[in-house]
C-alpha cells in the first residue's frame, strides 16, 4: 500500500526454451504479463532491476508496468528461481483492475513475547500466510500479530485477526493461525497428555 513503482520491460519475440536460455545468458529474465482481458504478453527485462523491484514492491504492491510505452497496472504474481544458482529464471505479472477485489496470500508476522511463553509455554504458529480479499491498492504487505498478552491456552483464529479497512480474510473453516500451548516439560502439559 505504498507509492506505485513504474517498471519498464520490453516485448519478447522469441518463445520457447532455446530463446529463453539465450535471454538468460545475456543477463535478461523472460516473463509474461497476464492481462485481465485474457491477452498475455511475453516480456523481457534485465535481472538486477527486477531484483530491486521485487525488494521494493514484493508480491502485494501494485506496480505500473511499462511495456514498450504502454502502461499496465499489475502485481508480481510469481518469481521462479534457478534451483541452485542465485538467478531469477522467469517472472509472471498479473494485470489488475483497480475496482475489482482479488484474493491474495499475505504473510503473518508475529511480534512480542507472550506471557504464556514466559511462564514456560510455547508459541505454535500454524499458518505463516493467510488469504485475504481486497482491491489491489488496499492489499497490506503483511498482517502483524502482537502476542504479548497471550497466556497459555490462548489461540487466534483467522476470523479474529484484525485487518485494515476494506480488507477481509478469505477462508472456508475458521482455522487457528497460532496458539500458546503448555510447554512439553510442565506438569500441566503431562496431565493434559494423560487425559
Q: In this structure, is the dihedral angle defined by the CA atoms of residues 43, 48, 49 and 53, taken in order, positive or negative? A: positive
Cβ atoms of 124 and 156 closer than 8 Å? no
Which pTM does this prediction carry? Answer: 0.74
Domain covering 102-185 in this structure, CATH number: 2.170.120.20
> What's the grid cell of residue 41?
504478453
Cβ atoms of 164 and 140 closer than 8 Å? yes
Element (H, E) at 47: helix 47-57
Amino acid 88: pLDDT: 85
Distance CA 9, CA 49 (A): 10
What percent of the chain stands above pLDDT 70?
93
DSSP three-state, residue 108:
strand
Backbone φ, ψ for residue 24 (5° rounding): -65, -40
| pLDDT 10s digits, 138-190 | 999 999 999 999 999 999 999 999 999 999 999 999 999 999 999 876 544 44
| pLDDT 10s digits, 66-103 | 999 999 999 999 888 877 777 888 899 999 998 999 99
Q: What is the mean pLDDT of the chain?
A: 87
Domain locations in the chain as residue ranges: 5-95, 102-185
Cβ atoms of 142 and 112 closer than 8 Å? no
Residue 4 has pLDDT above 90, yes or no: no
Amino acid 186: pLDDT: 52
Domain covering 5-95 in this structure, CATH number: 2.40.240.10
Quickly state the pLDDT bin for 195 (edges 50, 70, 90). very low
Amino acid 110: pLDDT: 95
Amino acid 106: pLDDT: 93
Amino acid at each position: 500500500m505504498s507509492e506505485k513503482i513504474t517498471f519498464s520491460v520490453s516485448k519478447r519475440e522469441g518463445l520457447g526454451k532455446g530463446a529463453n536460455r539465450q535471454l538468460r545468458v545475456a543477463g535478461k529474465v523472460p516473463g509474461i504479463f497476464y492481462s485481465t482481458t485474457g491477452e498475455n504478453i511475453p516480456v523481457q527485462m534485465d535481472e538486477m532491476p527486477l531484483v530491486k523491484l521485487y525488494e521494493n514492491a514484493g508480491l502485494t504492491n501494485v506496480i505500473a508496468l511499462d511495456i514498450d510505452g504502454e502502461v499496465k497496472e499489475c502485481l508480481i504474481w510469481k518469481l521462479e528461481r534457478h534451483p541452485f544458482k542465485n538467478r531469477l529464471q522467469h517472472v509472471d505479472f498479473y494485470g489488475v483492475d483497480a475496482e475489482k477485489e482479488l484474493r491474495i496470500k499475505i504473510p503473518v508476522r508475529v511480534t512480542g513475547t507472550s506471557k504464556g511463553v514466559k511462564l514456560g509455554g510455547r508459541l505454535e504458529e500454524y499458518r505463516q500466510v493467510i488469504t485475504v480479499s481486497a482491491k489491489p491498492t488496499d492489499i497490506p504487505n503483511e498482517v502483524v500479530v502482537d502476542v504479548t498478552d497471550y497466556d497459555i491456552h490462548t489461540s487466534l483464529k483467522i476470523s479474529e485477526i484484525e485487518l485494515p479497512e476494506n480488507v477481509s480474510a478469505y477462508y472456508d473453516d475458521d482455522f487457528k493461525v497460532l496458539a500458546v500451548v503448555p510447554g512439553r516439560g510442565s506438569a500441566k502439559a503431562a496431565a493434559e497428555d494423560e487425559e
